[in-house]
Structure 1
């Protein structure tokens, strides 16, 4: 018997009434930006989903209890919490067994959403294959989760600090549909386009919802990655971003930064090198993903 997450009153009412629900991760709150900007952004993303006619369900572990949907008081508590664990599939059960508080990554959010009966999840960007993975074997659990758990994940592609071609290869090997919304080019997180062709393209939320349902009818495991380009007005073009990413990556190598410390270091250095523009773009792409996820969730009925 599976452990069911505790639903917030808003999410419980939405399920009872058959309303569309969109899952949200919580690491952007605890590990993405400082208080109170993290709380303001979390509320903006939730409100964007409500404005689009769906109900947000922010996922987190609070004092050992898995929640699908947080009250505003719980959201504020999480935004100010200290020593919050960053949870993925490997340590999710351990953090809960210890009664600790943890924020969910893409993989852990997918697990919780599936347990709660939520089919669509909006995030910023997924994890993937890190540069130099042929030596380090550093590959995010997000990719295998997409192959295993039947949730459609709306993201602005993979984080641009990764080895995106290898990330796409692993997703193909794992049988994960990678569907770009509205264009043939695979988006590059802060940048709307890249030289990489998207494996698949769909132009309507209703078609994406139908593909999600069809996978279930075929008995195929896993979910879908929906790559949603950042709005052009908010993007930082690749020609500008690539040298900045390269400089930050070189600095991380020189300092011997490895494992779970790589991503936060790179994101912080890129924030500094872009004078904050990377974070502004990140917020805009998350809001954009929330809007599309709400449309897909509504189309799923």
Structure 2
């Protein structure tokens, strides 16, 4: 059956993919669930502008009226920003029902990868991926992002896994599922708000050209799954590890006390950390997304040259 029954690719994105031009996918959960309006819309449009400045076409991804969308208009981004958390946070398990019901969904890392792959987009920039939550040995709370990375051929450029997670177990899960974890200019896994975590990545790569070459080799070999590129937050926006770790511990304790679990966990923790840090964590979050967009666009440009 034709994907056109469910998928709408914007004319600009479709033309770029058809012509072999660089395209970078962007998620929409960061718009609806990641920050307040109008900052969410301003940030989303700025990220798209950064991708254009670095030679690629942005493809912000979402589900609108039951349609899988690869490439949103500014009006559609504005709509998502205003709707905020009223929009479903859509993971893989939600796609079929939302499409069948004609409902809206903001895409997580998982669903952005799926829709990007359907649309022929190979590189995706985000803030941080989900992972294995603290205490997952009893709760089994593991993000679908990790499973998607093991089966969908998309390069994900991020600032590491969010430091609200169990980073050691997250890396073990990725290793078990054969996902290469690349450190861009670093041998240590970045921890989202901070540049270091104490955990080693699989490989250090220092240029967009080498990133593109490694990803292309995997595509050429038909290897199942994607590639995770972890790009440290710029030094000037990196937070003091002691401050952010204290805020995370407080937020995790409060989430446990309130019985927060499942897909509500990450938005709750990020909002609580923002409050505890007086908004500094949100500023860092925005800057690391900008940084990842630049690297993803430059890598997409290099991939198109191969």
Task: Assess same fold via TM > 0.5.
Answer: yes
| CA-to-aligned-CA distance 1:35-64 (integer Å, 9 cap, x gap) | 111110000000000000101000001100
8 A Cα contact 1:180 1:200, kept in partner: yes
For residue 25 of structure 2, give the secondary structure of its aligned residue in structure 1. Answer: strand
Give the whole-Å Cα distance in 1 for the aligned partners of 2:17 and 2:221: 25
Q: Structure 2 regions of 5+ residues with no counterpart?
A: none
Alignment correspondent of 1:237: 240
Alpha-carbon deviation of 1:251? 1.4
Q: Give me the CA root mean square deviation.
A: 1.1
1:184 to 2:187 alignment: yes
Alignment correspondent of 2:152: 149
Alignment correspondent of 2:59: 57
For residue 126 of structure 1, give the secondary structure of its aligned residue in structure 2. Answer: coil
Alpha-carbon deviation of 1:220? 1.1
Give the whole-Å Cα distance in 1 for the aligned partners of 2:262 and 2:64: 25
- Paired positions, count: 301
Greater mean alpha carbon deviation, residues 108-117 or residues 5-14: 5-14
Give the whole-Å Cα distance in 2 for the aligned partners of 1:261 and 1:291: 29
Change in Cα spacing, 1:2 to 1:137, as seen in structure 2 (3 Å) is: farther
1:123 to 2:126 alignment: yes
Greater mean alpha carbon deviation, residues 158-167 or residues 262-271: 262-271
Alpha-carbon deviation of 1:10? 2.3
TM-score (normalizing by structure 2): 0.96
Alignment correspondent of 2:277: 274
Alignment correspondent of 1:175: 178
1:23 to 2:41 alignment: no
Give the whole-Å Cα distance in 2 for the aligned partners of 1:261 and 1:64: 22
1:89 to 2:89 alignment: no
1:208 to 2:208 alignment: no
Give the whole-Å Cα distance in 1 for the aligned partners of 2:83 and 2:75: 12
1:247 to 2:250 alignment: yes
8 A Cα contact 1:230 1:284, kept in partner: yes
Alpha-carbon deviation of 1:197? 1.5
Runs of 4+ with >3 A deviation: none
Give the whole-Å Cα distance in 1 for the aligned partners of 2:2 and 2:195: 39
1:99 to 2:102 alignment: yes
Alpha-carbon deviation of 1:16? 3.8
For residue 200 of structure 2, give the secondary structure of its aligned residue in structure 1. Answer: coil
8 A Cα contact 2:17 2:121, kept in partner: no
Q: Structure 1 regions of 5+ residues with no counterpart?
A: none
Give the whole-Å Cα distance in 1 for the aligned partners of 2:147 and 2:9: 26
For residue 90 of structure 1, give the secondary structure of its aligned residue in structure 2. Answer: helix
Give the whole-Å Cα distance in 2 for the aligned partners of 1:76 and 1:143: 29
8 A Cα contact 2:126 2:156, kept in partner: yes
8 A Cα contact 2:189 2:201, kept in partner: yes
Alpha-carbon deviation of 1:153? 0.1
